[in-house]
Amino acid sequence: MSEQTPNIAISVEGSIAILTFSRPEKRNAINDRTLAELDAFFSTPPAGVRVAVIHGAGGNFSAGLDLSEAVERDATAVFAHSRHWHGVMEKMQFGGLPIVSVMEGAVMGGGLEIAAATHVRVADPTVKFQLPEGKRGIFVGGGATARISRIIGPDRMTEMMLTGRIYGGEEGVRLGLAHYLVGEGEGLATAKTLATNIASNSSLINQMVIQSISRISDMGRSDGLHVESLTAAICQTGPDAREGLKAFLEKRKPNFS
Active site amino acids: 113, 133
Strand partners, 129: 107, 167
Q: Report the C-alpha gap between 177 and 85 in whole angstroms.
A: 20
Q: Report the C-alpha gap between 104 and 184 in whole angstroms.
A: 8
Q: Position 219: which residue type?
A: M
Q: Which of 6, 179, 37, 204 is nearest to 100 (CA)?
A: 179
Q: Which of 109, 152, 121 is nearest to 55 (CA)?
A: 121
Q: For the chain, what is the radius of gyration of the CA atoms?
A: 19
* Chain Cα centroid distance, residue 229: 27
Q: Report the C-alpha gap between 36 and 30 in whole angstroms.
A: 10
